[in-house]
Amino acid sequence: MQPKVVLATRILSFETMKSMYWKYSINKKNIYRIAAVFAVFTPKSLFKLLLLRVISKKPLLAVSLIEHIGDIVASQPIATYLKRTYPNHTVIWVTRSAYIDLVSEIMGVDHVLEIQCLTHWIMIWKSNIFDTVYDLHTNTQECSLCGIRINKKPNVINYTNYYSNSNLLEARCILSGLPVLTEGPVFKESISGQSVFERIDIPKTYMVIHCKSNDERRDWSRDKWRELVNMVLGNHDITIVELGLRAVVVSDSERYVDLCGKLSIIETAEIIRRASLFVGIESGLAHIANAVHTPGLILIGKYEGFDKYMPYSGYYKDSATDSIIYAKGPAANLDVGEVYIKINRKLEMLICE
């Protein structure tokens, strides 16, 4: 067992107040949102938790990770471990509203608590309403709304070293004081998600591409994606489905399908699950592909000072030689021909099967 992690954040330290003032100065609306977190949302959450304690008649255990898709999916084995280890507790996953459906679908916890921001979560944690807390956030992570940073003791992992010797799951375990788990995430089939195939006509054989992450430093260029898609469509009888928030490729081919911004997270997962191949940059959808065991090719380059790192546990980690292509420098440096050769090999193997 790792050392017990203790919250060391001071809500209204001088540095925090400076950061809050900066948030206010660039957007006057922020002051009202910050005030609402202190005066409305936190008391409301505490009331819900008190009521849950009375109704369940069990100790409350919180596991908190408020964003993003990839981090949440990668951390799924933690929920399985906690449910198994604490059968007599009410296990509650704390997250933002955008991820409620995702957490409810894959975690199998007893309750999901919606919060507004990291500061909202910090205030609930400091209230000591939970009997046990496992916080998965990276040390020194800052609330995007209020400017308050989450500080923990011991300070074992932060943004400068979280990929040095661990993948995302292992890092989250260390950050929360859990034993280091090694199993991969599991994203079970969803009946609600499968309904997407009733309203969207997609051929039985298709590959998925995901071209844009929430950090452009991980991305490949639009021109390279378009060149790659044209090469695949020109040499293989397969449909390409692009997923994400906004389309990058935009092809006139009848065998290109743009589903960007048209699906829920759960529907997106089912599209990825049935794909013959997933090709994309390191992103939340790549973590979903890992969790549903779709054969993949992930483009990874230097990021945040990490020259070569492994984000995944489970399927893609075990098949890293075939599933990940590393760039020398940022992912943008990868050559289209080099990527196509790997895809061509994978598609030929699928045809043979």
Residue pLDDT, tens place only, 258-267: 999 999 999 9
Residue 283 scores a pLDDT above 80: yes
Residue 254 scores a pLDDT above 70: yes
Distance CA 94, CA 200 (A): 33
Q: What is the overall mean pLDDT for the chain?
A: 92
Residue 183 scores a pLDDT above 90: yes
| pTM reported for the whole predicted model | 0.94
pLDDT band of residue 281 (cuts 50, 70, 90) is: very high
Any residues with CB less than 8 A from the CB of 8 and at least 6 apart, and which?
151, 152, 153
Report which of 269, 282, 168 is spatially closest to residue 215, judged by C-alpha positions: 282
Please measure the distance between the N-terminal and C-terminal CA atoms of the chain and give it in whole angstroms: 44
The reported pLDDT for the residue numbered 16 is: 67
Contacts 24+ apart (CB under 8 A), 93-97: 93/62, 93/63, 93/64, 93/65, 94/62, 94/63, 94/64, 94/65, 94/66, 94/121, 94/124, 95/64, 95/65, 95/66, 95/67, 96/66, 96/67
Report which of 281, 303, 324 is spatially closest to residue 160, judged by C-alpha positions: 303
Contacts 24+ apart (CB under 8 A), 252-256: 253/229, 256/229
* Tokens read off for 167: 């993948």
**Apex CA 213: angle with CA 181 and CA 105, to 5°?**
50
Handedness of CA 250, 325, 307, 144 (dihedral sign): positive
The reported pLDDT for the residue numbered 353 is: 57
Report which of 72, 79, 260, 105 is spatially closest to residue 194, judged by C-alpha positions: 105
Taking only the tens place, the pLDDT of each residue in 117-157 is 999 999 999 999 999 999 999 998 988 888 788 999 988 88
The winner for highest mean pLDDT among 24-33, 183-192, 254-263, 301-310 is 254-263
8 A C-beta contact, residue 27 and residue 21:
no
* Tokens read off for 286: 């790549």
The reported pLDDT for the residue numbered 295 is: 96
Strand partners, 239: 206
Residue 302 scores a pLDDT above 80: yes
The reported pLDDT for the residue numbered 13 is: 66
